[in-house]
Structure 1
Amino acid sequence: MINEELVVLVDREGNAIGTAPKAQVHGPETPLHLAFSCYVFDEHGRVLVSRRALHKITWPGVWTNSCCGHPLPGEPVHAAVIRRLAFELGLQVERVDLLLPDFSYRAVMENGTVEHEICPVYRAVVSVDARPNPDEVAEVKWLPWGSFAEGVLSGAMPISPWAREQIPLLVALGPDPLAWPVADEDRLPPVARPLAR
């Protein structure tokens, strides 16, 4: 029997308060839960953007950042990012950098489905092309960071609601994504701090 994937539920202060099956957690009353976003760059500062698979429950077929996901109960967030980069995009990375430790958001789809996450944001740098998993990703493309960010900020490039909120915060870190400062893990919500779970 296949184990059901669980997500970590959190309170408003960022403390773990339980778990719930991932397959059942997204709906009109989605509880606040732990997730992450990752932006993948190449050595030229281009960002890898991905289009979500058409059968996704939340925002199917929508362009977004490189990779998103949910840490498993007890799994360090950075380890979940590395795991999901391999699973969704076929990218092997040894480390990821924390950029936005306290990002969170709530968004509602036209059909009433809610996404409600504490969602630290990470960066990964790679020197190889992605091999998207069609179960997760419909397509990917590399874009110069500056033009991508400008397109999102101007509204010219449709993007997921979480990426729309993340891009201005990332732009504020400076023009060169490879030079953005790494955030202190002590700024993560309690549930996401190393050794916290």
Structure 2
Amino acid sequence: MRFSSVLLGGEPKKTETVDNSTAEETPLAVVKEEKGDAVDVAEATTEVDLSIRRYRLWPLRWSVGWPTVIAYAVLPGVVLLLALTVGFAKWQAISTGEAHRSGVEATEAATEATIALLSYQPDTVESDLDAARSRLTGTFLDSYTELTQEVVIPGAKQKQISAVATVPGAALVSVTGSHAVVLLFVNQTVIVGQDAPTDTASRVRVALDKVDDRWLISEFEPV
């Protein structure tokens, strides 16, 4: 066998001719392929680097953007809310102060007017009750005028009737800028001629309307 003979040195060794063209082309192909692989690797590396840079820049962009959003959107809203809150608090304080002042004025007006309405002397009854009429308004003014002119004034003159009223207690029921309701506790002492004084106590619900900066009685109802 040829293989045995060569191994034992039986046949002369043949020299194989190498195709130079194949030998030369193979390294070039390998080099080109290696270069191509190197280019692909470089491009892939570049894409990865760009992706990493984009990923790193993304939070940076947002970190720069959020303060701007806060400065131009959130903070003005907070400032506006604070301004509205302060404004409302001031308005509420002013409204509360005005309501308190109106309540005090209405209560004083109701007290003074009631004393004037129910107090008179037989010798000055006309002037006394005419002065009281200036504290009234609306339909109650008309009713009071009719009652005093037809009943109270003639009776006081004829029978020598005198009356003195006091208001030991008053309570504000409600008040607005133009209307108020006050509950009064009224004591009245009446003397007819030479008779002994007669004392009466009553509660009166008084409604007042504000007319030309004055609190005037518009209703007067015993309760």
TM-score of Structure 1 vs Structure 2, range by shorter chain: under 0.3
Answer 1 or 2: which has greater helix percent. 2
Computing the radius of gyration over CA atoms, which structure comes out larger, 1 or 2? 2
Bigger strand fraction: 1
